[in-house]
Structure 1
Amino acid sequence: MAFPLPSRLRLLGLSLLFPVLVSAQTTPPASPSPAPAAPASPQWYLLDAQQDGGVMGISANRAYRELLRDKVSTPVLVAVIDAGIDTAHADLKRIMWHNPREIAGNGVDDDKNGYTDDVWGWNFLGGPDGRNINQEALEETRLLARLKPLYQGKTRTAVPAAKRPEYDLYVKVKKAYDDKVKENTQRLQEYGQAYAENAQGAEGLKQTLGVSRLDTATLRNPPTQDAELRQVTRGLYQTLLQTGFASLDDVLMEMKKGLQETKDQMDYGLNLSYNPRPIVGDRPDDVKQRDYGNRDVAGPDPMHGTHVAGIIGADRENNAGILGVAPNVQIMSVRAIPDGDERDKDVANAIRYAVDNGAQIINMSFGKYFSPQRPAVEEAIRYANTKGVLLIHSAGNENNNLDQVTQYPSPTFQNGQSVPNMITVGASASTNDETLAADFSNYGKLRVDVFAPGNQIYSTLPGSKYGNLSGTSMASPVVTGIAATLKSYFPQLTAAQLKRLILESAQPIHTKVRQPGSNKLVDFSTLSRTGGIVNLYRAVQLAQQPMP
């Protein structure tokens, strides 16, 4: 699990907001990278391009208003395999799945499914004593820690022929690990310097203006008549509008968050000696083991999963908060994704748990680039397919071409066959211009099926709060919400039919956009198999037609 790190700082380009750091600013601020202004509606992703000023949403509001208003919905069970969900959130508590066969807190496996007191779902990152894993190492770190003692300092020719594939893996893993250490070391230095200098500049400007907060209202009309100072505040105001921040204090908080995330990556994700798995107390290499974990489906940090759950199905009937994409959904929380790389064993077991407990659709907003227990995950995916379960998977946030770099779970099995019951989703933004493809999103004409809104997505946060997050992690539940809506109103649809409807209703878009991670302009339609963005209105129209 990873957000683009951190999402909106990309729009600032880490350039200094304050080029001259003195108590009185005298130089205009550096120009920020071009970025679209945030749409007026916080839930822009529900809007319709034709009826709502060109905003590139999924036409959900229009679908409910014009096509689904008088139709009856049926309940749909959606599993969210993630870092945990705040089940008490005001906009989620009514829609959370409750295991009807389990009695809470009696210490007995009432339904005999192997998981004691799994009332709200299950946590494969927890131990029997109630402790939980939060931080984890990256998969390349875990692999390197295992392979380094075996192959460090050796040449390929010195390794027995039977061991050479593993040696080749060691070489590949070591390069990936070394590249990430270098990247994060540089980023840590850059973020630290940028944060310190911008914090100093912000404090200096506050003192000069005699204000305690540099928000958009203050910067739009600053308490000064000094022409040069007003020019500075005007530039900063425009920067806030373009990047969607409410104040410079929020920018500094985001910078500090990025600094901490990078530090955590070094301290945990890339630490060869870090291993939190004893907390769980399982046999990590035994992919057949099922009996481990605990009932804590929120975990230490349920932010990511709570945001995902709200996108899919936040309560549409309580006249408060936000609207989930799907109308009549139950959310099952399956905790298997730490802050770091998930383990294949946990993902496989999470899929199986969801399927065995009745999930019809599974959201998987996670991914990584090495999969040592890949056969176990693929076996679980095939099992889900035999039970008619559709999987929705995020494409990843590293602006990689997945036709050239494999991300796991892969949309293709090891034998080369396409996974029939999985949709891989890239992230799009709100405006139909060169920024339409989110700059962090992975893409691929062959291995990414479709794009969906994933930039500045407003949804639920722990503690009955709300806020914006960005990532393909947000795009995936948009598609999951569409799948759940179709299943709710057309319950006879199979997983294969749901996938076909979602992909066929995404019409190709030929806008010239920046290829993620570069300034190269490409046709948006070349970034995925469908070349388009998901659209609930068109999907419902297709679903109303006779199935082939």
Structure 2
Amino acid sequence: MSAFPHSFLTSLGLALLVPAVSLAQSVSTPTPAPAAPVQQWTHLDPTKDKVMGISTQRTYEELLKARTASPVVVAVIDAGIDTTHEDLKRVLWKNPKEIVGNGIDDDKNGYVDDIHGWNFLGGKDGRNVDVDLYEETRLVARLKPLYEGKVRTAVPAAKRAEYDLYQKVKKDYAEKVKEEKQQLEEYKPLGENLANINEQLKAVLGVTRVDTAVLRRPPVKNPDARLIGLTTQLYESLKSSGLPDMDAVVKQIQEATTETQKHLDYSLNLDYKPRAIVGDDENNTKDRNYGNADITGPDALHGTHVAGIIAADRENNLGIQGVAGASVRIMGVRAVPNGDEHDKDVANAIRYAVDNGASIINMSFGKYYSPHRAAVDAAIRYAESKGVLLVHAAGNESKNIDAIVHYPAPTPVSGAAYSNFITIGASGSTNDAQLTANFSNYGKKVDVFAPGVGIYSTMPGSKYGNESGTSMAAPTVAGVAAVLKSYFPQLTAADLKRIIMQSAAPVHTKVPQPGDTKTVDFTQLSTTGGVVNLYKAVQLATQQTQKGASSGQ
């Protein structure tokens, strides 16, 4: 799941795409700029700070300072985590029964030297998969030789469901190729134009960084109408994006261009076979003992950002603060490549996390085809039987996931929804038309929304930066769940899900429906109709646990 949703980038970029005109004019003494916006707005309080954060700081100051926290392990199933990051290295889970680097499976769990977790995308020779295929590509590559050019009536009855699947996925694959090519055509000129505008503004305004403060009050005397019009447009776009400045906008567009080219060259390439690196049978879902111990991998940006949101060190006076405190540890499980994850890897990653002590699992990934769904469903049931909460990102395609299944699915093929599975949409910082992220999936299969626009967190190399996506909203909720579990250890996975949902008060703001111009009530976009709030969740957990204790339960 991309942390740079296409709809987010294009809406931002197209809003900023203006003619590359000359802006040269006389520059005078700058006027004082207003204070820069708070980077970690997620932690602010809707009532006290007038920002749609989750009230982290208020919760610690008012509700938790006299309480003692218990140890909790949160597994991050993702693309990799930078284990040397200054804000993460102290909060990483360490396997207590494994000896570092001795090449022996000391704890006999089937995984050699799994000190901080495991990598299901690696080979025994130490190599790792980086870019993988989309699931549509894998399915077309497998089914095309069997069904291309055939009519349905010529296919044996027992194979017609698979024939129908091929016809559907072939269309979706073609649409994906078309979409990626279109994105590439948009991104290249967009990046060039924005870079040009950014450099012109720096020169005209006499600044080294074009941020919201500069755009809101350009440091020139008597600016003409053209400049005012441009800076006003840029200010509104930049503010809603959550990005710190125009340099960051240009960088994201350039990175998105590179990623889109990779998708066309590899993820949509029917002849590309990256799984040879792992050396397993990717269709044998019973196979569990493969991979290597490298939980960082070749591209740890996404997973590092996710891990920091959950539990970046709150006590080292560096960088940022995660939602969860010092008693929480992060277990890394690498199973999500640049492309689509394999069902086999997802199922094994869930089982690994459960078997090695995780109480909460963050899953910031997803797709729309799941050929080995039964293996994933069985793993979810296994986690449910062990009391482990799964927190899943709803997806970044502006889709109603009541109408189209986003995998892993929150409900089995038949029966009620899993009691330990919670699905998260992405929200913005302001209680207005920007409350819903325009890229977020929605529907009653989304349980609750959480901050997912312009989220400042850890980046590889002990760096920090903003990203947007339901990939950022899910770990915010995983962090909330970790706080609840650490201060109220008696809570079950079902309790955590219920408390998180019940404490998210409905918000009746009118917002655009993602992917549409239609305006709807925010409450219509999820089951709860609200945004997660740690303060209210801790209050509710306190009430329910006290009630349980007084009744002798």
TM-score tier (shorter): over 0.9
Q: Is the 8 A contact 1:5 1:258 kept in 2?
A: no
Q: CA deviation at 1:206?
A: 6.1
Q: CA deviation at 1:251?
A: 2.5
Q: Which residue of 2 aligns with 1:9?
A: 9
- State the alpha-carbon separation in 1 of the partners of residues 257 and 399 from structure 2: 23
Q: Does 1:92 align with 2:88?
A: yes
Cα-to-partner distance string for 1:125-180 (whole Å, 9 max, x where unaligned): 00011110010110011000101111111121221111100001001101111111
Q: CA deviation at 1:247?
A: 4.1
Q: 2:103 aligns with which of 77, 101, 107?
A: 107
**Secondary structure in 2 matching 1:112:** coil
**Secondary structure in 2 matching 1:393:** strand
Q: Is the 8 A contact 1:224 1:230 kept in 2?
A: no
> Aligned letter for 1:173?
V
Q: 1:255 to 1:228 in 2, by over 3 A?
A: same
1:269-418 alignment, distance < 5 Å:
269-327=267-325, 328-418=327-417
Q: CA deviation at 1:240?
A: 3.9
Q: 2:118 aligns with which of 119, 122, 140?
A: 122
Q: Which residue of 1 aligns with 2:69?
A: 73
Q: CA deviation at 1:476?
A: 0.6
Q: Which residue of 2 aligns with 1:29?
A: none
- State the alpha-carbon separation in 2 of the partners of residues 284 and 368 from structure 1: 17
Q: Is the 8 A contact 2:240 2:434 kept in 1?
A: no
Q: Which residue of 2 aligns with 1:47?
A: 44
> Aligned letter for 2:330?
I
Q: Does 1:192 align with 2:191?
A: no
Q: CA deviation at 1:71?
A: 0.5
Q: 1:172 to 1:24 in 2, by over 3 A?
A: same
Cα-to-partner distance string for 1:197-252 (whole Å, 9 max, x where unaligned): 44445556667778776566776546787736644663465254454444433332
1:128-139 alignment, distance < 5 Å:
128-139=124-135
> Aligned letter for 2:179?
E
Q: Is the 8 A contact 1:38 1:242 kept in 2?
A: no
1:80-229 alignment, distance < 5 Å:
80-202=76-198, 220-221=217-218, 227=224
Q: 1:232 to 1:63 in 2, by over 3 A?
A: closer
1:395-544 alignment, distance < 5 Å:
395-445=394-444, 447-544=445-542
Gaps of 5+ in 1: 27-36
Q: 1:235 to 1:450 in 2, by over 3 A?
A: closer
Q: CA deviation at 1:320?
A: 2.2
> Aligned letter for 2:340?
D
**Secondary structure in 2 matching 1:94:** helix
Q: CA deviation at 1:13?
A: 4.6
Q: Is the 8 A contact 2:45 2:58 kept in 1?
A: yes
> Aligned letter for 1:297?
I
Q: Which residue of 1 aligns with 2:31?
A: none
Q: Is the 8 A contact 1:395 1:443 kept in 2?
A: yes
**Secondary structure in 2 matching 1:330:** strand
- State the alpha-carbon separation in 2 of the partners of residues 484 and 425 from structure 1: 16
The two structures, once aligned, show a CA RMSD in angstroms of 2.3
Q: Which residue of 2 aligns with 1:30?
A: none
> Aligned letter for 1:9?
L
Q: Which residue of 2 aligns with 1:267?
A: 265
> Aligned letter for 2:405?
T
- State the alpha-carbon separation in 2 of the partners of residues 159 and 470 from structure 1: 45
Q: Is the 8 A contact 1:209 1:224 kept in 2?
A: no
> Aligned letter for 2:436?
A
Q: CA deviation at 1:109?
A: 0.6
- State the alpha-carbon separation in 2 of the partners of residues 411 and 194 from structure 1: 37
Q: CA deviation at 1:263?
A: 1.1
Number of aligned residues: 535
- State the alpha-carbon separation in 2 of the partners of residues 177 and 428 from structure 1: 29
Superposition TM-score, scaled by structure 1 size: 0.92
Q: Is the 8 A contact 1:101 1:111 kept in 2?
A: yes
**Secondary structure in 2 matching 1:67:** helix
Q: Is the 8 A contact 2:359 2:387 kept in 1?
A: yes
- State the alpha-carbon separation in 2 of the partners of residues 485 and 534 from structure 1: 13
Q: Is the 8 A contact 2:387 2:492 kept in 1?
A: yes
Q: Is the 8 A contact 1:25 1:232 kept in 2?
A: no
- State the alpha-carbon separation in 2 of the partners of residues 39 and 204 from structure 1: 22
Q: 1:62 to 1:297 in 2, by over 3 A?
A: same
Gaps of 5+ in 2: 26-33
- State the alpha-carbon separation in 2 of the partners of residues 401 and 439 from structure 1: 12
Q: Which residue of 2 aligns with 1:31?
A: none
Q: Which residue of 2 aligns with 1:33?
A: none
Q: Is the 8 A contact 1:77 1:360 kept in 2?
A: yes
Cα-to-partner distance string for 1:57-107 (whole Å, 9 max, x where unaligned): 112211111111101111101111111111111111111001110111111
Q: CA deviation at 1:473?
A: 0.7
Superposition TM-score, scaled by structure 2 size: 0.91
Q: 1:498 to 1:251 in 2, by over 3 A?
A: closer
- State the alpha-carbon separation in 2 of the partners of residues 15 and 275 from structure 1: 39
- State the alpha-carbon separation in 2 of the partners of residues 484 and 209 from structure 1: 46
- State the alpha-carbon separation in 2 of the partners of residues 38 and 265 from structure 1: 40
Q: Does 1:248 align with 2:242?
A: no
- State the alpha-carbon separation in 1 of the partners of residues 240 and 519 from structure 2: 21
- State the alpha-carbon separation in 1 of the partners of residues 264 and 133 from structure 2: 9
Q: Is the 8 A contact 2:5 2:468 kept in 1?
A: no
Q: Is the 8 A contact 2:242 2:453 kept in 1?
A: no
- State the alpha-carbon separation in 2 of the partners of residues 221 and 431 from structure 1: 24
Q: 1:213 to 1:63 in 2, by over 3 A?
A: closer
